[in-house]
Chain A
Amino acid sequence: MKPPPFEYHGPVTLGEALDVLAEVGPDGKVLAGGQSLIPLLNMRLAAPAHLVDVNRVPGLDGIEAGPAGVRVGALARHAAVERSPRAAAVQPLLRQALRLVAHPVIRNRGTVVGSLVHADPAAELPAVLALLGGSVRLASRGGEREIPAARFFTGPMESALRPGELAVSAFFPALPARSGTAFHEVARRHGDYAMAGVAAAVTLDEDFTIAAARVACVSVGPVPVVVDVTAACGRRPASSVPWDAVADAVRERIEPEGDIHATADYRRHLTGVLAVRALRDAAGAARGEES
């Protein structure tokens, strides 16, 4: 389990990084946290001719939290975002999701943006970005473009990132007042990729009836599956929502596949259960309750 030969590039400015990426085009792969890429290299499942290590590029590790949301730089580690009080205050779903990402030592090294670019439909962060309607900023020698989540994830492990581009940051919007979020998942072991997982965001009216409710589901489709369940919740307070019907509404929208860990049937069932748990917690959080 040793990687095949590759040429290593260690640019020290963003311009230099973009120059190298432009030069190597589709033969290049960006190394940030390396938590997915290095195992793929070692197992010879990926064999890029060029590895562009952006860890020395200054200014990419920012975590900027403002009223509109949180912008996370390409080199911001999971652990840094997880521990950022400002990020958690603006968008609590980030911390809720990051606590479910693998294990602390992996979070110390892995990056949020790297996880988005890796675009694993079983991962938590793509679901968070999709649920919140966030975006990814892509830079190349030709300039920058901001791609919304709905267009960024194009398939399992596939994103809108083009050869020569570097994902420099991602933006996670804040939610309106009286909103709450939650993330529930079931993994075979603590820290494993979830068999099913659901991120939920709920916004309440002033009378605490549910004004908007959305979930994003992991591991049940080629990309994170976002389901708007506002109608199914029926503009009621959480205590009188027909939750079984909401669960069924989510189950109808997903296309899970079976694998060695769980059948498709179980994943569908589980996603419904977790959607209800996440939505109820999110509604509770929107009312200011501890979840």
Chain B
Amino acid sequence: MTTKLFGEPVRRREDARLITGRGRYLDDLGAGALAAAFVRSPHAHARILDIDVSAALDVDGLVAIYTWEDLPGALAEPLPLLIPHPALTHGRTAYPLAREIVRHVGEPVVMVVARDRYVAEDACALIRVDYEIRKPVVGVEEAVRGVHLVHEDVPGNVGAHLVQEVPGPGGVTAREVIEAAPHRLEFRLDIERSASMPLEGRGVYARWDADDGSLRVYSSTQTSTSVRMAIAARLGLPLPKVEVIAPDVGGGFGVKIVHPWPEELLVPWAARLLNREVKWTEDRREHFVSSSHERGQVQHVRVGFDDDGRVLGLDVEILHDHGAYTPYGIIVPIITSTQLLGPYKVGAYRVEFSSVYTNTVQVTPYRGAGRPQGVFCMERTMDRIAAHLGKDRTEVRAANFIQPHEFPYDQGMTFQDGRPLIYDSGDYPEALRMLKELIGWDDFPAMKAAAAAEGRRLGIGVGCYVEGTGVGPYEGGHVQITSDGRVHVSTGLTSQGQGHETVFAQIAATELGVPIEKVSVVTGDTRRFGYAVGTFASRAAVMSGNAIALACRKVREKALRIAAEALEADPRDLEITDGMVHVAGVPSASIPLATVAVLSNPLRYAFDEEAQRATQFAGPASGDRPPVAEGEEPGLEGRGYYSPVRSTFAAGMHAAIVETDPDTAEIKILRYAVVHDCGKLINPMIVEGQIHGGVAQGVGGALYEKMAYDEHGQLLNASFMDFLMPYATEVPRIETAHLETPSPLNPLGIKGAGEAGVIPVSAVIASAVEDAEGIPITGMPISPSDLYALRRSR
């Protein structure tokens, strides 16, 4: 049967287009558009004294130059603070173009529009901005000293401060528990900055139709619907007059869920003002200094535990660097502090974070979104406990696991969706058993000893995580079967290469009983579907997947009703197979879905032979009811929305074997094993691809990537030459095994998979390097130079 595709490793339908250069990315559009370029601050902290554009005015091909002074109405206001939170007492956002003060290198100051990008950059180079340089704040520890302020009205540079307490039995606090515990440990951990770094940067292309008074905007975004609302609001346009389309998007990883970016407002505004098409394509240098970064925390950990390694009390203080602005609120440290708990039952928990301003690029979620930091903290803690007790590291983890019979398990906290942190399902002991088998955990000591006899150093590491996925509030899907038998699926959230055209088609084909070739999928186009949230937080499959399934079920029910009438059968006896509705067990009594679609839409005019069947004289008329019955709508289409009560919690466990060179301190990953549980798999091949990509990014965070800011707030490695993303040569072969514990929260039983791969990698590599070297690893990433320094300092 070709139509039962849910769960099959169907090849990605978008790949033929994407890998043969037929993708349509932002910069492939608007060949004749004017180009925008920006003069950006070269200083981390400065007051703008004067902007002199006179030298640029003579540049042939210049069209316009704008500064903050030129911005009208709502466009001159600070950008929206997207996710307010009571603890974010001092949230601050940037202006679309800097007003008086610049707070990080790369902040946009002047917008230039010209004939092409070359001319626009020539003009930018001739614009003189005089600055009075201020003392920049770099690094969280300097920030909390509060000697110099990023925002004059934010004392101590603290944007948000939040303490969350989950007391133990009898209401006893974590700190009390730790004091009384048989064993106590205390240590500090450091996690560097990194960034989403999609291969395609951001980009915006706008077309204004003056006669129609309408605006069409293409943006390389993770949320076209919300960009649309922001543009309509800030430009004062009626919402129906604004269309936003996410074309093919070359990766997002979180940075493109932030919106509206200054350019997403300024480019459409300029297009309308100039009545010309305008496009801006972000270049790599701009992406480094004017989009977003993430990771970047200092953690102080205190833990109390018993002789079995069970955590009785855990107290974590986090300094979180959110950069110069907080457009995305404090989602990242909230996720760190809640997801830190992982698959474990912690006796009593206290977590406190200060989210602080620095004169660096803003911090917003990057794939993993605060979880890698939390998992690093918890897994380093587990390894410390094991080392302290002389126990196997997996044994300590197992002693702390939530057991399969304990679901749903309430961690007693509030998650990032504002809802209780209740795990819906999982089987952590089984996942660990599978992982140990996959990597050969129990055989490793012999392997390590054999290598040591040859003068080689091997180490093994492990890391576990739980990931809340599929956050609300909702997504929708629309499904329409047209009279040619084609199935048109649309959903409002966007795609950045995940394979939505494939998995959503698999869901629709399975639900409707049609060949997948008949199904087409459109995402991220507000012309097709206007209500959506966006693609982030491992939510697309859970949210839109279920919404599309629900829409399909409505369409299927209607199709069966119409077909039953035509076949003079009971709808309950009907099945749909390969696009044919037929009586179960009687293949001859059948009608194609295409014909059902014709019949669903009563016609006055026939445009082809098939359509004649729906016209007024085609069949026996019913004199006593209207052609479209009450409560019915013409057409074979339906809409479905899925809105979960709370997130669904995926989980996974990784292990790695590394080799460290005794002489050069190089670190090589010899094996990497993943056990992954995202509930029911829609397409195991795509899930594995997601894991591979995630692990690759995790390897980057563990061994390579950092944002090298100097004390002046200058980013020293703002290029792909010096910001080291791993190549294929640096990523190990990844061995995977799947566990499926369905989610009880949604009709398809699925959980998200998008971020999973990246989450525990730093923790796993730290664990393995520590095992190889016998030196405590307390920070990530770790380079050969770092390892050499650690060896020397022993």
Contact = CB atoms under 8 A, between A and B. Distances in A.
B727 A191 contact: yes
B708 A273 contact: no
Nearest to B788: A266
Interface string A230-268: 000000000000000000000000000000111101100
B528 interface: no
Contacts of B722: 260-261
A192 interface: yes
B749 interface: no
B121 A262 contact: no
B29 to A, nearest CB: 19
Given A1-B283, A44-B125, A188 B704 contact: yes
Interface stretch (B502-510, B662-670, B682-690): B662-670
Interface string A1-36: 111110000000000000000000000000000000
B717 A1 contact: no
B789 A265 contact: yes
Contacts of B663: 273
A189 B716 contact: no
A186 B785 contact: no
B518 interface: no
A195 B726 contact: no
Q: How large is the interface on A (under 10, 10 to 19, 20 to 34, 35 or more residues)?
A: 20 to 34
Interface string B521-533: 0000000000000
A260 B704 contact: no
A5 B60 CA distance: 12
A4, A189, A273: residue with the most chain B Cβ atoms closer than 10 Å? A189
Interface in B749-794: 783-785, 788-789, 792
A266 B789 CA distance: 8
Contact of B664 (A2, A186, A265): A186
Contacts of B717: 260
A270 interface: yes
B117 A262 contact: no
Contact of A260 (B283, B716, B792): B716
Contact of A189 (B708, B719, B727): B727
Given A260-B716, A260-B717, A189 B283 contact: no
B699 to A, nearest CB: 11
B783 A262 contact: yes
B122 A4 contact: yes
A3 B285 CA distance: 14
A186 B122 contact: no
A1 B283 CA distance: 6
B666 A190 contact: no
B724 A262 contact: no
Contacts of A68: none
A2 B117 contact: yes
Contact of A266 (B118, B665, B724, B730): B665
A189 B704 contact: yes
Contacts of A38: none
B729 interface: yes
Interface string B711-729: 0000011010110101101
Contacts of B121: 1-2, 4, 44
A261 B727 contact: no
Given A2-B121, A261-B783, A266-B784, A189 B285 contact: no
Contact of B783 (A2, A188, A269): A188
B697 to A, nearest CB: 14
A195 to B, nearest CB: 7
B125 A1 contact: no
B128 to A, nearest CB: 16
A251 B77 CA distance: 59
A2 B118 contact: yes
B785 A195 contact: yes
A266 B792 CA distance: 10
Contacts of A265: 788-789, 792
B789 A189 contact: no
Contacts of B283: 1
B785 A266 contact: yes
A90 to B, nearest CB: 30
B554 interface: no
B122 A269 contact: no
A43 interface: yes
Contacts of B785: 195, 261-263, 266
Nearest to A5: B122
B784 A186 contact: yes
Given A195-B785, A262-B784, A266-B789, A189 B118 contact: no
Interface in A261-285: 261-263, 265-266, 269-270, 273-274
B285 A1 contact: yes
B284 interface: yes
A190 B719 CA distance: 17
Interface in A186-202: 186, 188-192, 195
A55 B792 CA distance: 50
Contacts of A262: 783-785
A2 B123 CA distance: 12
A34 to B, nearest CB: 16
Given A190-B730, A260-B722, A269 B666 contact: no
B666 A186 contact: yes
B449 to A, nearest CB: 25
A186 B727 CA distance: 15
Interface string B182-226: 000000000000000000000000000000000000000000000
Nearest to A260: B708
B675 to A, nearest CB: 28
Contacts of A189: 704, 724, 726-727, 729-730
Contacts of A269: 788
A190 B708 contact: no
Interface string A205-248: 00000000000000000000000000000000000000000000
B219 to A, nearest CB: 21
A185 to B, nearest CB: 10
A195 B708 contact: no
A3 B122 CA distance: 9
Contacts of A266: 665, 784-785, 788-789
A195 B727 contact: no
A270 B789 CA distance: 12
A208 to B, nearest CB: 25
A80 B283 CA distance: 32
A40 B666 CA distance: 31
A192 B724 contact: yes
Contacts of A261: 722, 724, 783, 785
Contacts of A2: 117-118, 121
B238 to A, nearest CB: 37
Interface string B88-129: 000000000000000000000000000001100110010000
Nearest to A263: B785
A43 B284 CA distance: 10
A73 B719 CA distance: 32
A188 B724 contact: yes
Nearest to A42: B283
A2 B792 CA distance: 45
Given A1-B285, A4-B125, 7 more contacts: A2-B117, A2-B121, A186-B784, A188-B704, A189-B730, A261-B722, A266-B788
18 contacts: A2-B117, A2-B118, A3-B118, A4-B121, A4-B122, A5-B122, A189-B726, A190-B729, A191-B727, A192-B724, A195-B785, A260-B706, A262-B784, A263-B785, A265-B792, A266-B665, A266-B789, A270-B664
Interface of A: 1-5, 43-44, 186, 188-192, 195, 260-263, 265-266, 269-270, 273-274
Sorted nearest first, the 3 A-B pairs with minimum C-beta distance are: A190-B729, A262-B785, A260-B708
